[in-house]
Amino acid sequence: MPEILLATRNPGKVREIRAAAVGLPLVWHSLQEFPELPEADECGSSFAENARIKALHYARLTRLPTLADDSGLEVDALGGQPGVRSARYAGLPRDDAANNRKLIQMLTGVPPERRTARFRCAMAFADRGRVLLETEGTVEGQIVDQPRGAGGFGYDPHFLLPDLGRTAAELPTELKNLRSHRGQALRAMLAQLEAFYRAAGQWDP
C-alpha cells in the first residue's frame, strides 16, 4: 500500500486525518516518527504557500510522499488576523491556551454580530521535489468569549457554528470531519490521491 507522511506533529490533526481516511489502502506516518527532523520555515504569505513549503521540505528529508496542510483562523474584525500566524499568534513556543487568550483580548468590546470568522485550510501533496496535488476548504463561524467543548484543538472551543449552535470543540469527530475546513480539504485530497494512485497502478482497496 502507498505510504504517506503527514507533515505535522500535532496529534489532533493526525487523529482527524486518520479518522477521515479509515478503510482506505494507505499507510500513514507522521512527524512524531521523525523527531530529529528540522522544522520547515513557514515563511509563506498564504496558507497554500506554507502548505507547499512544508510538503516539499519533509518529502525531501524523508523521501516519503508527503501531505502537508496549513490552516488557521481569519477574524473579520481583526482584519483577517491571526491568519497564517494562527499557531504562533501569542508568540513562541506555540501554545493554544495563550493564543486563545490573546484572541479574546483582541476582541474586547467587539459585539457578537461583528465577530464573524472562518477557518481556512490548504493542503499540498508532494513527492520527488514536486507539488503534485492541492486542495482547499473553509468553514464560516463566529467567535465566542467563553470556551465550550472538550474536543478539537487550537481555537475550536471559541469557534461557534451558528447553524448548529455548537463550537467546533463540541462536535463529534464524524460531524467535525464533515463540516470542518480540514475535512473539506481532506475529502477533496483523498479523491485526488485515489485517482493519482489508481493511475499509477498502486490502489488496491
**Contact predicate 163/102, CB 8 Å:** no
Residue 24's CB: how many other CB atoms inside 10 A? 16
- Alpha-carbon span 198 to 145, nearest angstrom: 47
Q: Of 46, 45, 49, 56, whose CA–CA distance to 7 is shortest?
A: 56
Sequence-ordered list of residues with C-beta below 8 angstroms from that of 25, at least 6 positions apart, any chain: 1, 2, 203, 204, 205
Q: Would you call 70 a catalytic residue per the annotation?
A: yes
Torsion of CA 94, 96, 100, 101, to 10 degrees: -70
C-alpha grid cell, residue 38: 528540522
40: which DSSP letter?
Answer: P
Please tell me which residue in 69, 70, 96, 156 is annotated as part of the active site: 70
Catalytic residues: 70
